[in-house]
Amino acid sequence: MEPIKVIAELLKVDEDQLAKAMVSRTMLMRGKNITTFLSLDQAEYTRDSLAKNIYGRLFDWLIERINIATDPMLNPYYDPNYKMTIGVLDIYGFEVFDHNSFEQFCINYANEKLQQIYSR
């Protein structure tokens, strides 16, 4: 299956529209739509921006769901004698694999967020 087809299915968008959006830009000028094709660099930047945005939103959604699931006020099984924690382990050198997994992405993203918090 073509990657664009898989991505369109996952995002629940029209495959042709997604493919067009990845390689062109449409602007409204003087009441007319003007479409121009992106250069290879621009198309790669668009692809990378979309991927980063999807991952960022997914990470934020996941953290929100975890926060809700671990909120003592919302958890009917909450036991005040039990401390709930979530740990993230980063293994040095894991990033140099030829193919990184989604788990590694989550770890790297969490580290970046933590670095942003602590470097303010």
pLDDT tens-place string over residues 68-80: 777 777 777 777 7
**pTM score, whole prediction:** 0.60
pLDDT tens profile 25-63: 999 999 999 999 999 999 999 999 999 999 999 989 988
Q: How far is CA 39 from CA 23, 83, 93, in A?
A: 8, 53, 35
Q: How many CA atoms lie within 13 A of 95 on its CB side?
A: 9
- Which helix or strand (DSSP H or E) is residue 119 part of? none
Which residue, chain included where needed, has tokens 């830009």? 25
